[in-house]
Amino acid sequence: MTFAARQLQEKCREQNRDLYTTFMDLTKAFDIVSRDVSCEGHWRVMVKFGCTGKFISMVHQLQNSMFARVVDDEDSSKAFPLTNRVKQG
């Protein structure tokens, strides 16, 4: 666990607050995921495997609300939205 994640976990525990984290391994994800713009197949598969609507909504938000920065040494760009429908690690 990274230092920042560990610090966040400890602070939430001290303040008796819930903390939800997500770690995604996107290695080779681009090679195995359908590139269909609607991505409807992904949601159907999650329903088939018994995922709740709330979980599917969270995954949808993760997929559609991602931002990135370009980091070079100590400089970094402003955050920009990732518009590619299928993220690659």
Token pair 């939430």: residue = 12
Residue 51 phi, psi dihedral angles, 5° rounding: -70, 140
Going by C-beta distance under 8 Å and a sequence separation of 6 or more, which residues neighbour residue 47?
A: 56
Quick check: helix, strand or coil at residue 67?
strand
One digit per residue, pLDDT tens: the chain, 89 residues? 578 888 888 999 999 999 888 776 666 555 555 555 455 677 788 888 999 989 888 888 777 777 888 888 888 899 888 776 555 54
- Evaluate whether 32 touches 26 at the Cβ level (below 8 Å): no
Answering whether pTM is above 0.85, one says: no
Q: Could you tell me the two tokens for 87?
A: 């993220």
Residue spans of the domains in the chain: they are 3-81
